[in-house]
A and B are shown apart, each in its own frame.
Chain A
């Protein structure tokens, strides 16, 4: 599985001492900027055609995915899980949490806001909360995030997003009416 541990990191992140798990990354761009930039990426017919073409063109898709990895690695510490939660997390990447929590901070955040596993680094979920709250988006953190599909690692989440595959990634409200079950292509698992 192509989990990435050595990505360009922006800012004064401390030298990595433990390679066995992700380390929280505070994004290098403000949440306000990123909420605005997001509009540029919203699906439209052109992007959908581009995504469909990329999926038919392996070489182009590899280059596109590498570019995405470069940009998002430098900005967010992206590890290419392929199912981007950033728009719902104040643009702080939950996959940089050592426990890869998708649904908010664990109970081990120190009184000064540091990660329990990497005490030199701020908790990425605390960063997410502060960024979302400042921009009036704190409610995003109440969304229930479904389990991720580990087959998507290394794929372009932009292509997935434009192809509409991200739509079921989170739900609002009652988890008893909307199930955590991942939609599957394989019809054999429905019963």
Chain B
């Protein structure tokens, strides 16, 4: 597959725009996250895409996640595309000013990346280059607004024409668990007013808080204009639990879940974490207005199909390439 990018373009995903269509169809959509490698090995991404093909409607490629240098989300998205999985290219405001952001967005459209996920980004302070200059020329909401203007009005922030205009599906993020909690649905409404068509949330571990958030989302009618895809993921060890509960900003792990994971023998923690993830997805499928689940399994992509299967959201319908890998480039 390494020849795919350098050669005559990309083997198309079996049907591009599948995330858009899946959201429009109203069925429960599944996306997952692919963290690019810190190394010049394109096969590292292809391996992860292989594990997900047929199981997800699209796969996010993160943009130097947690401010740690990796292969770019742009290159990663192209590699995912050529491996027969539809990418969602993440793009943050941390490392690029408005000129570079708009340039990368045009490039993504020109090379057939159908979905973009726009966010402010983590501050470099906790990354691997804390001495770096943080750009933050514009913020995540303004970036969504800029992208929608490029697509729908065919204009850059300068007012100049973009011709032909791009046509990606525009996504954003929200964290229902971070104060001020009573403002989070309104903040999402603001992003939808700016042009966001889908949103992926921070990890849902605390269902009662998420259900209150969704009630506010429904009251505001946001879910009719924006697919709400809830973030989920398996906690695979007590060390990982400790890390996400205390070190990652904005993740809320309820005490009951901590007790449950600590209450099983050490060799059973991974299974229990998996089981909790399955139960959360099952609950999410029953919450009105939830469009799907976004699985973040950091480094454990091979466990994703099992989680989805057990949660009853197994292989994607109408995906000819499921299992066989027939949609894949040479």
A and B bind: yes
Interface residues of A (CB under 8 A from B): 18, 20-21, 98-113, 116-117, 123, 126, 129-130, 138, 141-142, 144-147, 150, 173-176, 179-182, 184, 189-191
For B149, what are the chain A residues with a Cβ–Cβ distance below 8 Å? 175, 179-181
Interface residues of B (CB under 8 A from A): 93, 98, 120-123, 125, 131, 133-134, 136-142, 145-146, 148-149, 152-153, 155, 157-161, 173-175, 178-180, 183, 186-187, 189-190, 193-195, 202, 249-250, 252
Most chain B C-beta atoms within 10 Å of own C-beta, residue among A99, A141, A190: A99
- The answer on a CB contact under 8 Å between A108 and B249 is yes
Closest 7 CB pairs of A and B: A107-B175, A108-B249, A103-B141, A116-B249, A175-B194, A180-B145, A147-B138
Given contacts A109-B179, A116-B123, contact A189 B194 (CB under 8 A): no
Given contacts A104-B187, A107-B174, A144-B193, contact A181 B180 (CB under 8 A): no
Picked from B123, B178, B186, the residue with its CB within 8 Å of the CB of A141 is B186
Chain A: CB-nearest residue to B142: A147
- The answer on a CB contact under 8 Å between B142 and A142 is no
Given contacts A105-B180, A123-B179, contact A147 B157 (CB under 8 A): yes
Chain B: CB-nearest residue to A104: B187
Q: How far is the CA of A142 from the CA of B141 in the complex (A)?
A: 11
Q: How far is the CA of A105 from the CA of B121 in the complex (A)?
A: 12
- The answer on a CB contact under 8 Å between A144 and B180 is no
Q: How far is the CA of A190 from the CA of B123 in the complex (A)?
A: 34
For A174, what are the chain B residues with a Cβ–Cβ distance below 8 Å? 193
Interchain nearest-CB distance for B168 vs A (Å): 15
Q: What 6 additional pairs, Cβ within 8 angstroms, besides A109-B249, A181-B149?
A: A104-B141, A104-B183, A108-B175, A109-B180, A111-B179, A116-B250
Interchain nearest-CB distance for B293 vs A (Å): 18
Q: How far is the CA of A121 from the CA of B164 in the complex (A)?
A: 46
Q: How far is the CA of A2 from the CA of B98 in the complex (A)?
A: 20
Interchain nearest-CB distance for A60 vs B (Å): 32
- The answer on a CB contact under 8 Å between A181 and B179 is no
Q: How far is the CA of A116 from the CA of B248 in the complex (A)?
A: 9
Q: How far is the CA of A59 from the CA of B202 in the complex (A)?
A: 51
For B122, what are the chain A residues with a Cβ–Cβ distance below 8 Å? 108
Given contacts A103-B139, A173-B193, A176-B195, contact A108 B159 (CB under 8 A): no
Most chain A C-beta atoms within 10 Å of own C-beta, residue among B93, B137, B145, B149: B145
